[in-house]
Each structure stands twice: as structure tokens, then as C-alpha cells.
Amino acid sequence: MTTSRRRALRLVTAPLALGALLLGVAPAQADGAGAGPGQGGPATADIVTTTKLQGRVAALTFDDGPNPHDTPRLLEVLEEHDVKAVFCLWGDVVRQNPDLVRQIVEAGHTLCNHTMHHEDLSGWSPEAVRADLEATSALIHEIVPGAPIPYFRAPYGAWGRSPQVAADLGMQPLGWTVTIEDWETQDADVLAERLETRVRANPGAVVLLHDGPVMDRSGTVEAVARVIPELEAEGWRFHKPDRRG
């Protein structure tokens, strides 16, 4: 079935949520996790790196998952503090962990296409990029039909021609402002210090974290568990990234 025919069918079965998907807009939510002032609109080829909201705001994003060893605990931490995040899903890992993808969606988090095989896209043709992104989204939708996928993130930040392709498919290219280099260490003390310090220094930032199975991610999860309540006590809130570039 072609992409256009799949979209037409989904529009019939779930008009509200999928109308938002076709427009490239994640539906607003009453809990503040949806599009806010200065956000929303159709996808563009600009790579977003902030929430574009004022004050003590940050967006948490997690790449390369889901991971059966660490993602369940991460979901518990986020639920405990009523924080919504963006999960950038790796297609090969999605295929191995469909129940976790369902849990992510059921918990109200936002999905991001992170390609099928986590390859460097910098030298790919637009046609090859499009085929990969469409295949990844189709796989996700086999598991969670109708779930919006409003963002795309290129592995390694190697964008190449992918931003325009993603925008044409209704997905906003999603970069980041802050990272804690959790691929270098899983020492929770080090990661918590980095996360807390760097978020405070960058109000409005999109934060890059990882929950994928390439390595143990328990340190990342523990750092998030420590830092969220500390930041919330200072008046910080967690929101989606911008949707306009």
C-alpha cells in the first residue's frame, strides 16, 4: 500500500489525531505537553534546537530506544514527575520491542523518527532518505496505528539532505542545544551534574539523552531521576521542542 493510501485510510479511522499528523502538527494537550505559545505550524526544513518558550523551560529527548533494560525505569521516572518527553525511535530496535513502543505512546510521550538502521545519512540521496524515513514510520505505525510522529532526528546529527525530506513528510528536524555525553560514561554522579548545570545555563534548550540498547543506560536514567525534581523545585517545567524551526 502506498503512503498516500495509508494516510487516507488512517484519516477515515482517526480523523482528529491523524489530521494533525498530516499537517505535521502534534495535537495540543491539556497538560501543557502540546504546542504552546510560539509553537505549532507545518514542518519546515529548519533544524529546531529549542522550545522557543521563555523562562525556565527544557525539552527532554531520548535517542536510540526503546531498551528493555532501561526504558521501563525511565518511563516510571517520567510518570512519577508528570514529565512528557520525546522518544527518537530506532527502527531495528522498535521491531524487537513493540510493547515498549506501545507503553511510550500510552504514557503520552511524543515520537520521533530516528531512521531504520541508525546510519550516517550525510551522503544519502533524497530518494534514499525518504525510503528509509517512510519505512521507519510505517514500522512504528504497525505497532501504534495513528500515533503522530511530528519529529525526525538524524543519527549522529549527520543531516545531509534529510531535513527537507523530513519536512516534506510532515516531520520537523529535531536537533539539540544541550547534551551530557552519556555515550562516554554512565557514571550517574557525572551525568547528573552535567544535566543540571547545562540545563540551567540554557533556558529553553532541547536536551539530548539516550535510552538505546547499545550500552547500559542506567546512569542516564538515574541522572534524570535526580535532576527532574531539583529543577522542578526551582520552577523549571518540561515541554515539547518547537515545531517551526
Which residues have a catalytic role annotated?
63, 210
Helix axes 98-106, 126-143, angle to 10 degrees: 80
Contact 217, 182 (CB under 8 A): yes
**Is the sign of the CA dihedral 52, 111, 31, 237 positive or negative?**
negative
Q: Give the span between the Cα atoms of 244 and 53, in whole angstroms.
A: 12
Q: Which residue has the cell 523530513?
A: 166
Contact 240, 86 (CB under 8 A): yes
Residue whose C-alpha is closest to residue 140's, from 120, 169, 163, 168: 169
Q: Give the span between the Cα atoms of 110 and 129, in whole angstroms.
A: 22
For residue 29, give Cα distances in angstroms to 36, 46, 66, 116, 173: 9, 24, 23, 29, 21
